[in-house]
Structure formats: structure tokens, C-alpha cells
Amino acid sequence: MWWDAAQIEATVTRQFVCSYLSLEEVQSLDRPLPFGGGLTDGTYWEWIDEKAKRLFLILVDLNCPNQIFGLIDDSWDDDDLPIAIDQIGRLALTATKDEKFDRRFYARQFHYLIRYLEKGSHIVYQEDDVVPLSVLDRRPGLNLNNAVDKVELPNRPGEVLSRRRIPLGTGPGLLPYEEFLYEVNLTKNIQNDHILSYYGSYTHQGFGYVLFTPAGDFNLKSLLVAMPAPLKSLDKQTRRNLVMNWIHCLVDTLCYIHGRGGSHGNIKPSSILFNSKNHVFYTDLTRLSGEALAHASDKSAFDKESYDYAAPEQWYRPPTAFSGSNRSSTQTPSSPENARFTISRGHGESSTSVRAPQESTPRLDPQAADIFSLGCVILELLSLLLKRQTKAFAAHRAAKHKTPGRGGAVPDSSFHKNIGQVESWMAGLAKDASKKAKAKEKEDATRVFRGVAPTLQLAARMLSVAPHDRPTAREVERRMYAVLTADCGIPEPHCVHQYGGWDFGFGSLRIGASRPADGLGDGDSDVGESSYAIAAALPPPKRPSTGSRSEPRGRRSGSSGKDLVHGRDRGRGRDKDSETVVSYGGRSDPGPQTPQQPRPSHPRSWQHEAHPGILLPAQSGVI
């Protein structure tokens, strides 16, 4: 039981007080107070009822409720709480000095002085304050060195929150208090149905704590290995539609992030969560994320998953000679059973130019990197939809790196180093989807597979090696909405927003080709057609005017039509001469202005025999 003001008021009644007093003491409750010089006609009971309910509860806990009369005679009341440990002797509750009793009184008083953590608030709890929350899981080794757990607040019954613990201070492995508050303020700006969002924060006993909602029960990484019960219990059609809806929700949320000028920076299966209600969402985007806390404690660890799903420009190897070939090919039209998907290898620079020796690292567009990583996740989800194992996908990507014999480094199974293998896997997915779409089942049960081929086409563009060849988040969302409504037969996708200026044609979206300056693509996206060019000369189905409540009224994550016309020169495609910051967090702001030394913004280097190089951490662009 948590003793908040309402609980105390409801508990300490006259009947409750009388139950702890003798008959003579009960009669004394109605006696007038001995002090006041006749200027007041108040009684002992009125003093308890109006001013000393907390004091009486403490005395009940310490088995001396009758001492309330002496405290009232000395004019003690609840406003005097908390009483310092060295002042408790003044209460004269024991005949002789009793330090053990004093310590018990001191500790117990804080149980009746609790302050609830409300949504959007930050509380500084003192060393001995009782923080009113219940920890729901604290199994050793469960979550990132116990820096993450699940809690429930008494003022939010039934709502499970995710809690992060951050050690505060100025030494190694500690986050200065000013920087903690800075990150908390940044986190407050991120509120979306499909992002782990800020609920509240507090400091206590040398640690900073941040609470997020909702709490995730699973992540995509675990789902790709074994399907949890909440998902397995769904019927086939519902589960298939859910997977496609998830793709659109993730794309729509990335559009929200990019539309606010930010980036996620670390999209991969383990950073995408879902709960027992099958609600999917990204992890939060700040230095307070669970993974960031884990890396802070072990900066030398090699994060293979981040490497595998990173964009090619994020994993930078200093060149020793001429750069690679400038291959950019287009897809040859074919039947779905023999579809070939070609991912653009185009580069914006000449293939024969030599990089200047002083150019140690390239500039990174974090939003374009997000698009690549999300394309990888989409392929994993499509593989799940078609009952292909993620382990088999990883083995397929690494197939050309395997060497006979034992020993040696782990084969490179990253997406960006195995584009050819990814293309052949996509062709296999298209073939499987075509067969399932023609299976002798009810049309409603198999129609979702008609959306696989156009989604693969979109993923192929998202995985373009050159960042400028990738579509923007707005383009990806618009296309996925059309796939769900027109191809998959899902009339009402979960996330629907009216993005401004989105009634333009989709343009030429042929896979493998660099984006032309103008013109329209041809062909059709139906699974039965031979051409895999994504044409959008016709506008997509009209969107409903309402949708999920991901954003506050009056603010949308899209842009105006003017912004869209110049889409290649903004956001992900900023002006050529503008500088993209690749420091930790992907932020372009200077961070907290404190007299302390600034955090280093150089790329992380890992000494790993299989993957030597530098990862440019376009991590968690802040909104």
C-alpha cells in the first residue's frame, strides 16, 4: 500500500484512532488543548484530524500510538516532517535515548511523504525518500546489466513502463547531472505511438531514472528466431496482415522522425520492439536508450548486429587506392517466378577519382542511413511472412565469404557487403510469394502476398549503395500505403496521416536505375505482371482524414508541396555544401553548454579481425 494524501485521509478516521487507544485515552480526544491561552477551543481529535494524521500513522507503526498526546502538547504536526535524525530525540518518545528507535522513526516517516511521478514531470528525490513504484521484473542478466527493467506506478495502475537507470557523476562511466537533464529535455520532445516515448524522470541516490511508455515484451530479433505466443495465437490471415501493417507503421514513424529533422540512427531487429498486444514501436532515440547504456559500459565491444544492418557509408574503410566501380544497372523484366532484383550501386562521384589523403572520413547523411537499415528490416519481415528463417538468410548473405577448414574469422553476413546475395534472396521471396498468391485458398487469405513483390521493389531502392539513390521516408511511406490498400487489400492501415503536398505523382521508380530528373515510370505492380517497375502515374487511394494519434493537432510530420518538389535538395538530400554532423546521437545542435570538457565526436573504432574499419555512428538523431 502506498500512503498518498488520499489514502491517509481515508484511513485515519476517528474510529481508526480510537481502535489504537485505551478507553481513558479515547475520552481524552475531546479534551481542549492545554496551550493557546484560551484563544482556541480545539481538541486533541481536531488536531489529529486536521494536522497530525501522518504522525499518528508513524506512531502506530512504532507501537506507541498513545504518544500522540505528548506530541500535540509540544505543538508537533505533519508540517514538521521530515524530521532530521538528530532532532528526533526532541520528540521525547522514549524514556531514555534510543538510537535504534530514532532510526526507525526517521526511516518510517518517508513512507507517508511520497510524491507520485506524474506524466511529463521530473522529480529530485532526496536520499531517504521512498520512490512510489513497483519493480515488475528484475531477473539477473535479463536486461543490459540491469540498467533496464519494467515498473508500475501506483497512480497508473495496470500500465507497465520501461525504466532506465543511469549512474550520475563526473568520473569514468558516469553521466554528469547537467547532461542527464539535457538528454531528458530532448527525450520529452519525442512522443509517438510507435516510438518508446518519455513518461517521466527522477533522480535518487546517485542515479538518474527515466521512464518510457510503452514497455516492450519482445523485439524483432527474438521474433525472427521463435514466434511468441501472442503472435502465434492469431489466425493466418490476421498474422499476415499484421506483418504488412507493421512495415507501414515503421515506415510512417520514420517519416514522422525525419519530418522533424531527426534520425533514428540504429535501426535493426533488436531496436524494434512489440508488446503482448502486438503493438510495434522503435526504441527511443537518445543517449538514454538501453543499448547506449550498454555501450557506455563496454565501449570496446563489437556490435555485429549494428554492423550487419548499417548502411555502407556508415562502415567506412579508409581507401588505399582508387574507389570501386560505378556500377548502376536496371532490372530486366521477367515473370514473378524468375524475378531478378537489382540494387543500385551508383555513386555520385567519378569512379576513377582518388580521395584526398586528408579526407579521413566521409560525411554521413543519417536519414539516408535510416532508409537503408529499415530496408534490411523490411526484408527480414517479408522473409518471416514467407516462413523463411533469419538464420538461413544470414547464411545466404555470408555464403561467398566461407572458406574451407576450421578456424578463421566469422563470415561477413552484413547487408551492405553482400548486395548480390541479398538480390538473389529477394528473387526467391518473390517466387515464393507468387506461388502462395496462386494457392487454392480463399482470396482474402492469400491476397496479402500480392503486396510482397512491390514491397521488394521498394526495398531494392532503399538498399541502394549510393545514399542519394535511396527514396526519402515520405516516398517510402506513400508507396507502402498504396501497397497495403491496393495490393494487400487492407482498407484501413493502422497508421494514417494526411501529409501535406503528397498528391504529386510518384515519379520514375524503376529498380536499379539512378533517379531521373523527370518522367514517369511505366508498368504495374501487380504480382502477375512481368514488369517490376514501380509506376505511380495514378494517385494512390484517398486516405481517411483521421488516423492514429501519433502527433499533436496542428503539426504533421510531412512537408508542404513546395518541400516535396525540392525533395532531393532537403532533409536527406541537404544542400551539397551543408555539413552533416556524424557525432554520437546524430545531432546538429551543440549539446549542453557546461564548463565540462565536450564529448568526443570521433567515430568508434573496433579491432575485430572479421570487420576492421570505422563505424560512423549516425546514432539517434534528436528531434
Cell matching residue 144? 543490459
Q: Pseudo-torsion of CA 175, 179, 184, 185, nearest 10°?
A: 180
**What pTM, to 2 d.p., does this model score?**
0.71
Contact criterion met (CB below 8 Å) for 451 and 488 = yes
Helix (H) or strand (E) holding 204: strand 197-204
For CATH 1.10.510.10, list the domain ranges present in the chain.
219-352+360-401+411-615
Rounded CA-CA distance 197/253 in Å is 12
Give the SS3 label for residue 136: strand
The residue ranges of DSSP E strands in 31-95, in sequence order, are: none
- Which region holds residue 403: left if phi is over 0, alpha if psi is between -120 and 50, else beta? beta
Rounded CA-CA distance 416/3 in Å is 56
Rounded CA-CA distance 311/31 in Å is 80
Higher-pLDDT residue of 38, 86: 86
Question: Beta strands 197-204 and 207-213: pairing type?
Answer: antiparallel
Nearest to 248 by CA among 547, 563, 572: 547
Higher-pLDDT residue of 1, 293: 1
Taking the alpha carbons of 219, 224, 226, 230 in that order, is the dihedral positive or negative?
A: positive
Rounded CA-CA distance 156/160 in Å is 9
Least confident interval from 70-84, 104-118, 195-209, 575-589: 575-589
CB within 8 A of 607, min separation 6: which ones?
Answer: 300
- What is the third-level CATH fold of 122-215? Phosphorylase Kinase; domain 1 (3.30.200)
What pLDDT digit, counting tens, does each position of 61-71 carry?
999 999 999 99
What pLDDT digit, counting tens, does each position of 599-614 carry?
444 444 343 444 444 4
Nearest to 265 by CA among 108, 371, 120, 407: 371
Provide the pLDDT for residue 173.
Answer: 82
What pLDDT digit, counting tens, does each position of 436-451 carry?
888 766 666 788 999 9
Residue 284 φ/ψ, nearest 5 degrees: -70, 165
Nearest to 446 by CA among 507, 368, 528: 528
| Mean pLDDT across the chain | 76
Instruction: Report the top-level CATH class of 219-352+360-401+411-615.
Output: mainly alpha
Radius of gyration of the chain (CA): 31
Provide the pLDDT for residue 442.
Answer: 66
- Please check the confidence at residue 483 and state whether its pLDDT lies above 90: yes
Nearest to 202 by CA among 151, 242, 160: 151
For CATH 3.30.200.20, list the domain ranges present in the chain.
122-215
**What is the rounded average pLDDT of the residues 29-55?**
87
CB within 8 A of 15, min separation 6: which ones?
Answer: none
- Please check the confidence at residue 526 and state whether its pLDDT lies above 90: no
The DSSP letter of residue 206 is T
- Please check the confidence at residue 619 and state whether its pLDDT lies above 70: no
Rounded CA-CA distance 584/600 in Å is 8
Query: In what side-by-side order are the strands of the sheet with 280-282?
Result: 218-219, 272-274, 280-282
Higher-pLDDT residue of 42, 103: 103
- Please check the confidence at residue 352 and state whether its pLDDT lies above 60: no
Give bridge partners of residue 282 from the DSSP assignment.
Answer: 195, 272
